[in-house]
Amino acid sequence: MSRKYPQSVEAEQAVIAGMMVFTDIIPNVKEILDSSDFYLKSHEKIVEAIYDIDASGAIPDIITVSEYLKSHNTLIAAGGEEYLMTLADSVSTSGQTQYYIEIIKEHAIRRSIIISCEEISEIAFQRGSLEDLLTSYRSSMKILDPHEKTPSHIEQINQIANEIEEQSKNPNPVSGVLTGYAGIDKNMVGLEKQTTIYIKAQSQTGKSALALNIAENIGMTYDGYIPFYTLESTHRALNKRRFARATNIPLTRIRLGNLHDEYEWERFNEAIKELSKSKLHIIDLSRYRYIENIIIHLETIKRSRKYSGISLIVIDFLQLLDTYKKYSNKHERFSILSDELNTLSKDMDCPVLVLSQVNKDYDAKESGDIENNATHVWELRAEKDTEVVKLVAVKGKDTGHWSTSLRFQRYAQRFCDLECNDDVPF
C-alpha cells in the first residue's frame, strides 16, 4: 500500500501568509527554510517570489507577489490570484509561525531521507558497483544534514575576524587542540582543524605509542570524541598500553596482572577513573580498513549529536588502509587515500593524524603521494642506545620546518618531554 510523503499543507499556508503580513519574520524563515522545503510546488513558487521581492528591498504582499508571479509566467503554477487571496485566511500570530516553520522543516528532512533511501535501495538492487553505492550513500548523508550550511563571504570574514579578536585577548593563544608536549605545542600552537598530519617512522620507533599518547592527552583535555582506528593492533593491546602509561608500571607486568604492592594497586585504580573520563575510543574492527567505511562511521557520529564534535581522528596506519575505488598500483591507491583523508579532515572539521610505516623498501614516489597532500609531515627518529627520540617536521604549511626531542619510556609505552617527572602519567 502506497503511503504519502510527510507534509503539512496547513503549516505551509500559515507560514506563507505570515510572511506576507508580518514581513519582519522573513529573515528568520529564510534562515531555516529553503523554497524547496515546501511540499506543494505552488507553495515553492510563491516562497521563491517572496524571497526575491524581499531581497530587492520591496514589501512582499499579495499584490507584489501576484505581479512578480505574472511577470515570471508562474502565476498559474502558483495556484492563481484566487488562491493567493485565500491564503489571507491562513494568517496566524508571528509566535505561532515559528512552530509551523519547524513542522515544515521536519517534514522536508523526513521526505529527503525517504527519497534518498529509495534511490540508494534502487542502486543496491541493480547490483551496481559497491563504489557507486557507497558514493551515493555518502552524498545523501551530506545532503541530509540540516545543520550544515556554507557561510556567506561576509559571514566567513566576520568569523575569522572574531577569532583573531578573541585570540588577541588570550595571554596564551592557541590555534587548535594542544598535544600536551611542550616542543610540539610551541611550534604548532595546537593541531588546527581541517588539517592532515602524517607521522612517518620505521617499525619499533614508537609512532603508535606517540599517536596514542597525543590522543590520550587531547581526550583528557577536550570534550570532543577521538576515534583511534587501529588497523594493526587490537583494542585490548592498546588499552593495556594506556594502563601502563597511566600507572607508569611496565607493560609486561600490566599484561600479566603482576602488580607488586598496595601503592601500585592504588595507581591502577586511579588510572581506571582517569581513563574512563577520556574521550578516546579504540576501534579495531576489520571493516574499517576501508576508508569509505571510516567516513560513513564518522558521518554517522557527527550527525548523532552524541558528542561535542570530534577533537581528533587517528588512523594507524596508512599502509594497511584500503579503498573500494579501483586502482592499478599502490601509487594510485595512496593518491586516492590521501585525497580522501584531506576531504575527511574538512568534512569532520578536525585534525586527522595518520601514521605511516617507513622501511628499507620505502618508495620515494609513495612518500610523494603522501606528502604532497599533507598539511604537515613529521618524522620520528630514534637515537641509538638512548630514550631520546627526535621529532622532525619535514613539511609544515604555515609552521615551516622545526624539530623537538622527546623521551620514549618503552617499558610503559610513554612519551614525555625531556624534563618530565617519571611519577606523573599525564
pLDDT tens digit sequence for 145-204: 555 555 666 777 777 788 777 777 777 767 789 999 999 999 999 999 999 999 999 888
Residues in Cβ contact with 130 at an 8 Å cutoff, skipping those fewer than 6 apart:
324
Question: What region, left, alpha or beta, does residue 276 occupy, with left being phi > 0 and alpha being psi -120 to 50 degrees?
Answer: alpha
Instruction: Summarize pLDDT for 109-138 with one digit per residue, the tens.
Output: 888 888 877 877 777 777 666 666 766 666
Q: Which helix (H) or strand (E) covers residue 139, if one does?
A: helix 130-144
Query: How would DSSP label each residue in 38-76?
Result: SSSHHHHHHHHHHHHHHHTTS---HHHHHHHHHHTT-TT
Q: Quote the pTM value.
A: 0.68
Q: Are 53 and 125 in contact (CB under 8 A)?
A: no
Three-class DSSP category at 3: coil
Q: Which three cell numbers stand for residue 246?
A: 597511566
Give the strand pairing for 402-409 and 414-417.
antiparallel
Question: Is pLDDT at 337 greater than 80 in this prediction?
Answer: yes
Report the distance separating Cα 224 and Cα 219, nearest Å: 7
Q: What average pLDDT is seen over the chain?
A: 86
Tell me whether strands 352-358 and 196-202 are parallel, antiparallel or unpaired.
Answer: parallel
Q: Domain 176-417 adopts which CATH fold?
A: Rossmann fold (3.40.50)
Query: What pLDDT score was predicted for residue 361?
Result: 58
The CATH code belonging to domain 9-144 is: 1.10.860.10
Domain residue ranges of the chain, discontinuous segments joined by +: 9-144, 176-417
Q: Which helix (H) or strand (E) holds 270?
A: helix 262-277
For the record, the C-alpha cell of 150 comes out as: 556554507
Torsion of CA 9, 12, 17, 19, to 10 degrees: -170
- Which residue, 6, 4, 300, is CA-closest to 144? 300
**Burial category of 47 from C-beta neighbours within 10 Å (exposed 0-12, middle 13-18, buried 19 and up):** buried
Least confident of 6-20, 62-76, 164-178, 280-294: 164-178
Common-topology check for domains 9-144 and 176-417: no
User: What digits encode the pLDDT tens for the residues 232-270?
Assistant: 999 999 999 999 999 999 999 999 999 988 899 999 999
